[in-house]
Structure 1
Amino acid sequence: MSPRAGQAGHPARTLAFVESPVQLLNVLEWAHLHGLPDHPPSRPATGAPAGAGPNGTASASPPAGPAPALPEAGPVLPAQAGPVSACVSAPPAQTRGSTVGAAARGAVAGGAVAGGAEFTVVVLAPTDPMTRGQLRRMADLARDEGYRVRWEEARGGTTAPFHTIGGLAGLLRRAGRIVMGDPFSRYVQLLLTITRARDLVVVDDGTATMEFVAQLARGERLVRWHRKGGRPGARDLLFAPVSSSARRRLTPSGGRRVEVFSSMPVTETPEGVTVTANDFAWTRARFGPPRITDGADMVGTSLVETGVVDGERYLAAVRDLARAHGVTRYFAHRRENTGKLHRLAVETGLEIVRPDLPLELIARRGPIGRTVLSFPSTVVHTLPLALAGTGVRVAVCDIDPAWLTATASPRAQGFLSGVTGTARDVHRLTAVAPA
């Protein structure tokens, strides 16, 4: 979908709503694809984002000053066999073509889309300290790129939602285009009931985008995959009318246009929805290429924190993978519990790294291991794109059904297998072997 003027030739105002660092990154990727902004960034591509250390990482909570440097990987540990489930190796991906051509790129000014239309990114700030820290780094980076960023303490107390929604109501009513990172968010769904925008864009929020598109295509209620199959709670029932309204708003009809901007594989495309490929062109143009080390790195997951995977099984799997592949560093997910990470460090000897930017940016800047191991997650699809042409290999380990908790959604195993199975250019292994 190319940038459009509003009705009667008036420029369309665009509002983007984000609640996580990855969502903001993908808003920047979407804006870059549409030619925003047309002036050069304030720093060279190899420079660190505002507030970041030389390697763009931070320790457990983002400090006010410069973040400490990311230590280089140590020597590869001796390979040891370990019982883990089947793994997948993903060779470096080639950059995918986009469905939007040069015609979509128009002249813009800082913070404005083609034709002078206003473009504002609204951060609906979460309460989690690590997520807030990464979002602040990303907000600084977005401002440096020339975008307007409005930070909303949307969850700062019982009256915060009323103040936030009231303060945004005017902007919502005037907006001609809404860009959102999480269509499952109750906050975003509530905001959709206010706007009259005819253009709606959903940018990636990780693997959840796959489930959103499939649910929209099947006309199902919008519910996150790890909660699907459970009985709706009282809050779900109370919010059901708003969720149903949001689903109708996100269904193209009556001149309303819907775009999904994603690096995820989309197998069920709802009628009338435009799917645009996110190939991380902005990330590759802005950062790197990275320095590649001989070691291996591992990407953490929050599947334990979301109640999908048993903590003891996860710890054992990480330990076995680290031994088999000579892993020295573990890049923690922003939602991983500090106690769990401490155990991982003590029992596996891994260096735990708390990135203060999305991993795609951290990896693109480097240093990064020649092999990056991951469980089924967004990075299975995004890292090969961000690291295209670098020679870095991404190896993906499936979740063994025995690792799932008794309370895990019946949908969990199939969804996680789909995340791995749809990763591009992968080779399945029947056993873990040294990278």
Structure 2
Amino acid sequence: MPRDAARRPETLAFVESPVQLLNVLEWAYTDALRAADPDPPPAPGPAPAGPGAAPAPGATPDPGAVPGQGPEQPPADGADDTGGGDGGDATATGTSGAPVLGAAVSSLTIVVLSPHDPMTRGQLRRMAELARDEGVTVRWEEARGGAGAPFRTVGGLSGPLRRADRIVIGDPFSRYVQLLLTLTRARDLVVVDDGTATMEFISQLARGERLVRWHRRGSGRGARDVVFAPVSATARRRLTPGGDRRVEVFSSMPVEPPPGVTVTPNSFAWTRARFGPPRLTQGTDLVGTSLVETGVVDLDRYLEAVAELARTHGATRYFAHRRESADKLHRVSAEIGLEVVRPDLPLELIARRGPIGRTILSFPSTVVHTLPLALAGTGVRVAVCDVDPAWLTRDASPRAQGFLSGVTGTARDVHRLKSAPSTP
């Protein structure tokens, strides 16, 4: 019996960031195409490599292309540098701006475990609108709204957790998510990309280590860690395949999974089918990072690097990360002279909708892996600038430099720049 003729599994997804929600939609699109054609041809563009990597399901051939036409071509030179990154009407832009998921998501419910950060909440609300436009049921939980919120949230989700056949998560490091994993009986678990953290998750899972974020310094054995340790250990076991328990990782990152874990490449097929191709400007855009906010990179060294990149490459716009502080962004604008753009959607969607620069500069981050996929065929060039070890703070994790170098070194279809000079 074809999979689409059988009952589709009840799927419950938990997200805490806009990128996680985007990648749940990407996974749902790929899963629907996989159900319709279990043996599709390979996906176009770069795909994660490594043992256990599955063929790219859901690319038949490029879901973002119009039948009967050739590959996307970049717009003509001279496009105006206006309107980019301002949010706009996400459903009205692009060649195929209508919903593309349809009935395939009738059994999917996305639960938003809302954070406190206003920028993240704003982007999550915009992504929730897009998901609802696609026919997805979205449940917004004020999961951190006061002392009693976690109890109300977990209590309200106990029924759906028991009924779910499949659980999709965006952040296996989240204590909230780890707690919810201990309450489900689902035998199918899917981890969708939460950016470069997915690389560290796979590495730690393969080595049987505790799940600890790469930029976190110290032993992780504080009082809260000790109290939560049994929950974290149970969640890690749930994320390890065995018996009738299946684990899938849906990722655009170059990951090498442990035995039993299936990797499905994320080629950003939904994004390309839904939006674009974008108009291109003549300028260069620079992508911001939260490495300062996470305590990895020194603020002044970071600003010096941004200024040098802007001078060298003629960058005029700075696309801020949702976690960047207002004070830092003020300095980017006032001292360096860049136009700061605070997107209300993940950058992959903003760039795909356009207008976007013909060159995009970034420090080591998720976008050096995702933008070449989302912008495949558009003629946009993505370049990455390494982080000089001299920029790291004293509090940076000992793993930070190696991890950031790995992010850059494994990126495909990007141009690698040398570190911007640092002041002695």
- TM-score, normalised to structure 2, is 0.82
**Counterpart in 2 of 1:29?**
26
The one-letter amino acid of 1:256's match is R
**Counterpart in 1 of 2:118?**
129
Q: Is the 8 A contact 1:154 1:160 kept in 2?
A: yes
Q: Which moved more, 1:28-37 or 1:416-425?
A: 28-37
Q: 2:348 aligns with which of 336, 345, 360?
A: 360
Q: Is the 8 A contact 2:372 2:413 kept in 1?
A: no
Q: Note the C-alpha offset of 1:431.
A: 7.0
**Counterpart in 1 of 2:78?**
none
**Counterpart in 2 of 1:209?**
198
**Counterpart in 1 of 2:242?**
253
Deviations, residues 207-242 of structure 1 (Å, cap 9, x unaligned):
000000010000000000001554432211111111
Q: Is the 8 A contact 1:120 1:147 kept in 2?
A: yes
Q: Note the C-alpha offset of 1:427.
A: 4.7
Aligned pairs for 1:277-426 (under 5 A) are 277-426=265-414
**Counterpart in 1 of 2:139?**
150
Aligned pairs for 1:123-272 (under 5 A) are 123-267=112-256, 269-272=257-260
In 2, distance between residues paired with 1:155 and 1:16? 18
The one-letter amino acid of 1:17's match is F
Q: 1:109 aligns with which of 99, 103, 111?
A: 103
* SS class of match (1:57): coil
Q: Note the C-alpha offset of 1:430.
A: 4.8
**Counterpart in 2 of 1:19?**
16
Q: Is the 8 A contact 1:14 1:177 kept in 2?
A: yes
In 2, distance between residues paired with 1:67 and 1:345? 26
Q: Is the 8 A contact 1:178 1:201 kept in 2?
A: yes
Identity rate, percent: 76
In 2, distance between residues paired with 1:432 and 1:187? 39
Deviations, residues 115-160 of structure 1 (Å, cap 9, x unaligned):
xxx2101000011000000000000000001100000000010100
In 2, distance between residues paired with 1:353 and 1:425? 25
* SS class of match (1:151): strand
Deviations, residues 240-287 of structure 1 (Å, cap 9, x unaligned):
1111111000000111000000000013x1110000000001101110
The one-letter amino acid of 1:254's match is G
Q: Is the 8 A contact 1:3 1:34 kept in 2?
A: no
The one-letter amino acid of 1:122's match is V
Q: Is the 8 A contact 1:110 1:147 kept in 2?
A: no
Structure 1 residues 367, 108: closer, same or farther in 2, change over 3 A?
closer
**Counterpart in 2 of 1:72?**
none
In 2, distance between residues paired with 1:160 and 1:21? 21
Q: Note the C-alpha offset of 1:425.
A: 3.6
Q: Note the C-alpha offset of 1:428.
A: 3.9
Structure 1 residues 374, 217: closer, same or farther in 2, change over 3 A?
same
Q: Note the C-alpha offset of 1:424.
A: 1.1
The one-letter amino acid of 1:15's match is L
In 2, distance between residues paired with 1:3 and 1:343? 54
Structure 1 residues 403, 283: closer, same or farther in 2, change over 3 A?
same
Structure 1 residues 168, 3: closer, same or farther in 2, change over 3 A?
farther
In 2, distance between residues paired with 1:338 and 1:278? 32
* SS class of match (2:183): coil
Unpaired stretches in structure 2, ≥5 consecutive residues: 37-65, 67-81, 91-100
Q: Which moved more, 1:234-243 or 1:356-365?
A: 234-243
Q: Is the 8 A contact 1:57 1:357 kept in 2?
A: no
* SS class of match (2:411): coil
In 2, distance between residues paired with 1:4 and 1:172? 23
* SS class of match (1:35): helix
Unpaired stretches in structure 1, ≥5 consecutive residues: 39-44, 46-52, 59-65, 69-106, 113-117
In 1, distance between residues paired with 2:294 and 2:352? 28
Q: Is the 8 A contact 2:166 2:190 kept in 1?
A: yes
Residue-pair matches, total: 365
* SS class of match (2:103): coil
Q: Is the 8 A contact 2:85 2:342 kept in 1?
A: no
Q: Is the 8 A contact 1:35 1:108 kept in 2?
A: no
Structure 1 residues 27, 231: closer, same or farther in 2, change over 3 A?
closer
Q: Quick check: 1:57 aligned with 2:86?
A: yes
**Counterpart in 2 of 1:104?**
none
